[in-house]
């Protein structure tokens, strides 16, 4: 190599950089094998992947059975997961026991949900103002559509709600109503008026101090004692109220964090401008506080959505409840992992989607002056 040519000092053409400092080699060096500990971690990860991936792939995909009529038939066809079952029960998973001939109504409500969500989620949509009005009216429209009883719609008993349908009903209702309630509670706790502050604080701390299932038990067993004699609520409605109250307490704490992180100058400036309390809150404080709390708010939404599964302890069959009752179907006896994995996949998609959206929103609203 060196015998070929000689150069004047300073005339040597640039050599290419060493191989391990460019391209994929550099990346591998930096990210996988740079140091001893890094190499150890890499080997450990590869070993873990080796342990997990082939087994999972075999069980859930390669050896899986997708059509059979019973557990026994599944076992004959292959050693892996028995997905046939999901297909067998798919309708129940989605609609619960909602009457088959009326299922266009939840379907329509589901489509409308996206119509209602679009103007809330994205702000460059045409006719956004009218869209937002529709979004506000959506809970009522959806409720009427699903329950019926007016406008010639055949009434449907809420006991027949189940599966994904029930999960979405509880989740969406809770999310919709807990945010405004949470904002009010947070303002109450942050208020200067001692009585209001104490009331809100006690409420928030009480709700946060007890598990949701005790509240659901109260909704299902005790609440009717506290109503005027002779009245009783629909169970689903009772559950919706409890779930909303529960989420609103957590929401209030998240928003309070946002309120507290605002510099005092903002309040003082608003006072100096002569703004009244509600004007200050609406125009100055909340827009900033809510922006700061977005990750927390979405986390609360995700938590609420996951908590909808707890309704099975009071005998409502949401998507997990349907799965659980399906596990004990004698024809398919002994299946549990597959069914739970299926439901886990459903929740993962919903919740992961929500958390991605929150990151997108955070980036979009990150208008330069990070705290």
Partner 1 sequence: MKLKSILVAGAALAMTATVANAATLEDVKASGELNCIVTTGLVGFAYTDANGRWNGFDVDFCRATAAAVLGDGEKVKFVPTTGKTRFTALSSGEGDILYRNTTVTMSRDADLKLTFLGVNYYDGQGFMVSKALGVTSAKQLNGASVCIQTGTTTELNLADYFRAQGMSYEPVPIETNEEARTNYLSGRCDVYTTDASGLAASRATFESPKDHILLPEIISKEPLGPAVRQGDDAWADATRWVLNALIEAEEFGITSANADEMAANPPNPTVARILGVEGNYGEMVGLDNQWALRAIKAVGNYGEIFDRNIGPNTEIGLERGLNALWTNGGILYAPPIR
Partner 2 sequence: MSVASDTDSTPQRGGIMRLWYDSEARQVIIQIFTIAVLFALVFYLVRNAVINLDAIGKSLGFDFLFQPANYDINQSFLEYDSRSSNLKAAIVGLLNTFLVAGLGIFIATIVGFVMGVLRLSKNFLMNRLVYCYVEAMRNVPVLLWILLVHGFIVVNMPGPRQALGLGESFFFSNRGINMPSPLPEPLFWATAITFILGVIGAIVFKRYAKKIQDETGKILPVLYVSFGLIVVLPVIVYFITGAPLNWETPAMQGFNFQGGYVVKPELIALTLALALYTSAFIAETVRSGILAVNYGQTEAAGALGLRNNRTLQLVVIPQAMRVIVPPLTSQYLNLTKNSSLAIAIGYMDITATLGGITLNQTGREMECMILVMAIYLCISLAVSSFMNWYNNRIKLIER
DSSP E strands in 249-339: the ranges are none
Residues 58-77 interacting with partner 1 (rule: CB under 8 A)? 72
Say whether residue 229 binds partner 2 (CB under 8 A).
yes
Distance from C-alpha of 316 to C-alpha of 312, rounded to nearest angstrom:
5
Taking CB within 5 to 8 Å according to partner kind, which of partner 1, partner 2, none is near residue 310?
partner 2
Residues 320-349 interacting with partner 2 (rule: CB under 8 A)? 320, 324, 327, 334, 336-337, 340-341, 343-344, 347-348
Taking CB within 5 to 8 Å according to partner kind, which of partner 2, partner 1, none is near residue 150?
partner 1
Say whether residue 205 binds partner 1 (CB under 8 A).
no
Distance from C-alpha of 212 to C-alpha of 345, rounded to nearest angstrom:
23
Provide the terminal-to-terminal Cα distance of the chain, rounded to the nearest Å.
58
Question: How many residues interact with partner 2 (rule CB under 8 A)?
Answer: 59
- Give whichever of 41 and 72 is closer to partner 1, judged by the CB atom: 72
Taking CB within 5 to 8 Å according to partner kind, which of partner 1, partner 2, none is near residue 72?
partner 1
Residues 116-175 interacting with partner 1 (rule: CB under 8 A)? 140, 147, 149-150, 157, 159
- Report DSSP state, residue 65: B
Cβ-contact 292, 263 below 8 angstroms: no
Cβ-contact 191, 277 below 8 angstroms: no
Cβ-contact 156, 147 below 8 angstroms: yes
- Report DSSP state, residue 59: I
Residues 155-194 interacting with partner 2 (rule: CB under 8 A)? 192-194
Cβ-contact 313, 220 below 8 angstroms: no
Cβ-in-10-Å burial (0-12, 13-18, 19+) of 110 comes to middle
Q: How far is the CB of 105 from partner 1 (least distance, A)?
A: 15
Taking CB within 5 to 8 Å according to partner kind, which of partner 2, partner 1, none is near residue 362?
none
CB atoms inside a 10 Å sphere around CB 263:
10
Say whether residue 268 binds partner 1 (CB under 8 A).
no
From 112, 117, 237, 351, residue interacting with partner 2 (rule: CB under 8 A): 351
Taking CB within 5 to 8 Å according to partner kind, which of partner 2, partner 1, none is near residue 125?
none
């Amino acid at each position: 190599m060196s015998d070929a040519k000689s150069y004047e000092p300073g005339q040597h053409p640039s050599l290419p950089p060493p191989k391990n400092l460019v391209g994929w080699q550099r990346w591998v060096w930096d990210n996988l094998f740079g140091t001893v500990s890094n190499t150890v971690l890499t080997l450990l990860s590869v070993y873990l992947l080796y342990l997990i991936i082939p087994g999972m792939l075999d069980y859930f995909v390669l050896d899986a059975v997708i059509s059979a009529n019973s557990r026994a038939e599944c076992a004959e066809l292959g050693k892996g997961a028995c997905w046939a079952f999901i297909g067998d029960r798919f309708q129940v998973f989605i609609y619960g026991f909602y009457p088959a001939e009326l299922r266009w109504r939840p379907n329509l409500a589901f489509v409308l949900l996206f119509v209602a969500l679009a103007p809330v989620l994205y702000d460059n949509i045409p006719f956004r103002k009218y869209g937002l009005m529709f979004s506000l009216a959506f809970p009522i429209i959806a409720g009427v559509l699903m329950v019926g009883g007016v406008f010639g719609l055949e009434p449907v008993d809420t006991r027949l709600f189940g599966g994904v349908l029930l999960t979405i009903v509880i989740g969406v209702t809770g999310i919709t109503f807990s945010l405004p309630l949470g904002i009010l509670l947070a303002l109450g706790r942050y208020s200067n008026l001692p009585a209001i502050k104490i009331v809100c604080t006690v409420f928030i701390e009480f709700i946060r101090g007890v598990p949701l299932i005790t509240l659901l038990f109260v909704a299902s067993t005790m609440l009717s004692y506290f109503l005027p004699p002779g009245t009783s609520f629909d169970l689903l409605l009772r559950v919706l109220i409890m779930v909303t109250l529960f989420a609103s307490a957590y929401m209030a704490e998240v928003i309070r964090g946002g309120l507290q992180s605002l510099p005092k100058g903002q309040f003082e400036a608003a006072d100096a401008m002569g703004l009244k309390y509600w004007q200050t809150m609406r125009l100055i404080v909340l827009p900033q506080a809510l922006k700061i709390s977005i990750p927390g708010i979405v986390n609360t939404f995700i938590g609420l959505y996951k908590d909808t599964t707890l309704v099975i302890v009071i005998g409502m069959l949401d998507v997990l409840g349907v799965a659980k009752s399906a596990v004990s179907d004698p024809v398919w006896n002994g299946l549990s992992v597959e069914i739970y994995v299926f439901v886990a996949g459903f929740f993962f998609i919903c919740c992961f989607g929500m958390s991605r959206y929150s990151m997108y929103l955070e980036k979009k609203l990150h208008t330069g002056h990070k705290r």
